[in-house]
Amino acid sequence: MSKVKSIFSCSDCEYQSVKWLGCCPECNNWNTFTESVPTPTQPKKGSSKKIDLTHLTSIATQEQPRLFTDIDEWDRVMGGGIMQGSLIILTGDPGIGKSTLLLQVSNALAQNNKVFYFSTEESLNQVKQRAHRIECINSNLLFSDNADLETIISTAIQEKPDILILDSIQNCYTANSQTYPGSIGQLRESTFQLMRLAKEHNISVILTGHITKEGNIAGPKTLEHMVDAVFYLQGEDRWQTRVLRSVKNRFGTINELGFFEMNANGMQEVSNINQHLIDELSQTPGSVLVSIIEGSRPILLELQALTIESKMPMPQRVISGLDHKEVVLIAAILEKYLHIKLSSQDIFFKVSGGFKLKGSSSDLGIALALLSSYFQQPLPEKTIALGEISLTGQIKPINQINTLVKEAEKFGIKQLLVAKNQKMDSTNSHVKKFDNLYELLSLFS
């Protein structure tokens, strides 16, 4: 019998090779190949079994209840609560607070549900110390530090908990696999077995997972396809808060955000994150307030620009928080139609709070931040800019304007800068409408 040879798989794109490669030829990422030994299988002859197919109309449906924690920031990001029978991955940097948050979530769920918490990375003594510190002691919340996946699944099938939490999937092992815990083969097999447990026994399963240095879930992309939802817990550098972000959710909206603050008592909800920005907002040249929709939530953000005459042959473009091409494009449009030589200026640009801006609804804010810094004149106090800019220098309306305006007015915004054709409900703020870039100069005259 011939010896089964090892294969090397890329953890990012699953490209396979018979030998180890430093750089994946498929996705061009470095040091992503891991070794695995395929399980030999015997070719199966054609099966005589027949699958009974059914029509959707013959399937009895019932509304699946969600599991609530009464932690509003968590429940909203989940899509209104955890769906029964779902498989969820929570991931984030080491020490970001995944275990602390899950301990609080499991404690809240245990008020009305049967919850099993398997800690494969920490001993029960360590878990107990954290639970005492954040006051998460509940008789309905049961713990184990067993890492044998077959034993965990067997226990869940026999005891039938409502929620099973596994912290973390990388430290579990399966006896049937010849590879070490955390390897590609073990991760894929473990996730598949947990997926079948969730679907066949209607048990909600929450996993924690490690991430790579690039900030992605460690393991093949198939893991993200197999699960129902993927959530990232990230650090937010300005207000020392934690941001829970939904990047995949079959039972809710993606890009939904929840905000928490880590302190001695664990993760505390921050329901008024926009108030942090308004309290710190200053009326200075180069500062402009904009608003974006993240999931279902309007977020107020400050754009900060600095333009200065360049002393280098190639002017600098230092930009964080959005695609640098967007700022370069807006600068080019301003130079084309307003004859302002931004191409000879060093441009430094950032978005407050470490957020990432996407879309074109903040184009007007970017333009005004550049103009405000260039002319060294601040915009009027408590002014927000909401508009898109076309390549022809026209200012265009944006979507969901009423939601953005309602949130802005809640925090005392007095003046709105929007497109001339922007349709919106009546507002208490003073509205200034602009048709093109030339009209923006009136703000700095």
Structural domain tally of the chain? Answer: 3
Q: Is the pLDDT of residue 48 over 80?
A: no
Q: Summarize the confidence of residues 217-233 as an average pLDDT.
A: 79
The pLDDT value recorded for residue 47 is 57
For the ranges 31-40, 245-254, 318-327, 425-434, which has the lowest average pLDDT? 31-40
Q: Is the pLDDT of residue 220 over 80?
A: no
In the block, tokens 């794109």 appear at 13
47 found inside a domain:
no
**For residue 199, what is the domain's CATH number?**
3.40.50.300
61 found inside a domain:
no
More confident residue, 119 or 294: 119
The pLDDT value recorded for residue 42 is 56
More confident residue, 396 or 34: 396
Asked if residue 431 and residue 323 are part of one domain, the reply reads yes
Asked if residue 105 and residue 233 are part of one domain, the reply reads yes
331 found inside a domain:
yes
Domain end among 270, 290, 310: 270
The pLDDT value recorded for residue 9 is 80
Q: Is the pLDDT of residue 333 over 70?
A: yes
Asked if residue 200 and residue 100 are part of one domain, the reply reads yes
The pLDDT value recorded for residue 161 is 93
59 found inside a domain:
no
Q: What are the φ/ψ torsions at residue 153 (nearest 5 degrees)?
A: -65, -40
Asked if residue 198 and residue 292 are part of one domain, the reply reads no
Residue 312 DSSP SS3: coil
Asked if residue 221 and residue 75 are part of one domain, the reply reads yes
Q: What distance in Å separates the CA atoms of residue 241 and residue 221, rounded to the nearest whole number?
A: 28
220 found inside a domain:
yes
For the ranges 98-102, 137-141, 248-252, 310-314, which has the lowest average pLDDT? 137-141
279 found inside a domain:
yes
What pLDDT band is residue 1 in, cutting at 50, 70 and 90? very low
Asked if residue 234 and residue 157 are part of one domain, the reply reads yes
Sheet containing 16-17, strands listed edge to edge, beginning at the edge strand earlier in sequence: 16-17, 7-10, 33-36
Q: Is the pLDDT of residue 212 over 80?
A: no
Please list the alpha-helical segments (H only) found in 284-384: 324-338, 363-375
135 found inside a domain:
yes
In contact, 40 and 4? CB cutoff 8 Å: yes
The pLDDT value recorded for residue 200 is 92
In contact, 145 and 124? CB cutoff 8 Å: yes
pLDDT digits (tens, 9 = 90+) for 258-291: 989 888 888 998 888 888 777 777 789 999 999 9
pLDDT digits (tens, 9 = 90+) for 178-189: 666 667 777 888
Asked if residue 152 and residue 78 are part of one domain, the reply reads yes
Residue percentage of the chain with pLDDT more than 70:
89
Q: Which two tokens stand for residue 128?
A: 């107990």
The pLDDT value recorded for residue 8 is 84
Picking from 247, 82, 102, 84, the residue whose alpha carbon sits closest to that of residue 167 is: 102
For the ranges 87-101, 196-210, 263-277, which has the lowest average pLDDT? 263-277
More confident residue, 179 or 410: 410
Asked if residue 179 and residue 323 are part of one domain, the reply reads no
Residue percentage of the chain with pLDDT more than 90:
45
For residue 3, what are the domain limits? 1-39
What are all long-range contacts of 39-47, with beta carbons under 8 Å and residues at least 24 apart? 39/178, 40/4
Domain end among 251, 270, 289: 270
- The CA radius of gyration of the chain, in Å to the nearest whole number, is 26
For the ranges 242-246, 327-331, 335-339, which has the lowest average pLDDT? 242-246
**For residue 374, what is the domain's CATH number?**
3.30.230.10
Asked if residue 282 and residue 220 are part of one domain, the reply reads no
Picking from 165, 193, 190, the residue whose alpha carbon sits closest to that of residue 180 is: 190
For the ranges 212-216, 242-246, 353-357, 388-392, which has the lowest average pLDDT? 212-216
357 found inside a domain:
yes
Domain end among 235, 270, 305: 270
pLDDT digits (tens, 9 = 90+) for 13-47: 677 888 888 888 877 888 888 777 665 555 555 55
Asked if residue 168 and residue 304 are part of one domain, the reply reads no
Q: Is the pLDDT of residue 428 over 70?
A: yes
Asked if residue 21 and residue 97 are part of one domain, the reply reads no
Q: What distance in Å separates the CA atoms of residue 80 and residue 320, rounded to the nearest whole number?
A: 32
Asked if residue 317 and residue 439 are part of one domain, the reply reads yes
